[in-house]
Structure 1
């Protein structure tokens, strides 16, 4: 299941990267407009005719999408590695390197899509998002492993307590 979710996350990322500039910008701009209208509906002082807000909302949304996509990729890749390797210290650099490589290839391939280009900033945002997901997954695995060890220790000590009474 984790493999399937990971493949789906990478496929979604590749789908968005393969969109031409008009399609990609149209999607993010429509979501940014929806976000701005939601702010206006909640009495947030946004002027819908102000170009600054339109450009800023769109740019922030696009960068947040990069971060979120790769946070999910990093989380599920780290989860997969933790399930197989079972060494947190080994999974962290492997998952980070693989996510960086995926982000790099993703950005590199965008230069061959009409109206798109590669940006190192996006690779850095992708890698930071992936690293955040990797850390989140690793913390969850650390806690789960610690709880399992404590339960085993309690089971091990319980017969000694019962037998000594």
Structure 2
């Protein structure tokens, strides 16, 4: 995912703008067909131009949402949870966003933007929270069952140890009774 983000950031300002406009145009065209609006080509072009900026920013959030999921999921699975997951995965992803904006300062027609880092951070936050919620609802019941099984095994082991001790005491007492 970092490579994909880096590749998009390496596009010139013109190429990036054209890509955003093309995506916006396809969205408006699709909406026109589905909603049966009957818009003229110039109306579609105008509407595509209007939504280009929000589409670009939603793309930023989506990229970093996916990055946060791909970074935080392995951490969660291997035991990093709670605030530490938020801090570690968040710092990695937001740090990458800062580096990516710095990288854009070297690309023709592009420049760094603190606003974009903020938008990226929103995507990161929602990505990490999605991992936490999904893993908690999917993995937590399995962990609870495993803890319950281990508790039951410890309890059963204590019962067996107690029974062995009682048998030992009974044998010991029985052997003294014979004399």
TM-score range, shorter chain: 0.7 to 0.9
Q: Which runs of 4+ in 1 moved over 6 A?
A: none
Q: CA deviation at 1:83?
A: 3.0
**SS at structure 1 position matched to 2:42:** coil
**Structure 2 unaligned regions, length at least 5:** 157-179
In structure 1, the partner of 2:69 is 75
- TM-score between both structures, scaled by the size of structure 1: 0.80
Q: CA deviation at 1:59?
A: 1.0
Q: CA deviation at 1:88?
A: 2.8
Q: CA deviation at 1:121?
A: 1.6
- TM-score between both structures, scaled by the size of structure 2: 0.75
**SS at structure 2 position matched to 1:118:** coil
CA deviation vs aligned residue, 1:4-43 (integer Å, no higher than 9, x gap): xxxxx11000000000011111111111111111111122
Q: CA deviation at 1:109?
A: 1.2
In structure 2, the partner of 1:21 is 13
RMSD of aligned residue pairs (Cα, Å): 2.4
Q: Give the number of aligned pairs.
A: 153
**Structure 1 unaligned regions, length at least 5:** 1-8, 161-165
Q: State the structure with bigger RCO (CA 8 A, min sep 6), 1 or 2.
A: 1
Are 1:49 and 2:29 counterparts? Answer: no
CA deviation vs aligned residue, 1:46-100 (integer Å, no higher than 9, x gap): 6642565232221121111101100000111111222334333311111112211
In structure 2, the partner of 1:127 is 121
Q: Which has the larger radius of gyration?
A: 2
Distance 1:75 1:46, change over 3 A: farther
Distance 1:115 1:75, change over 3 A: same
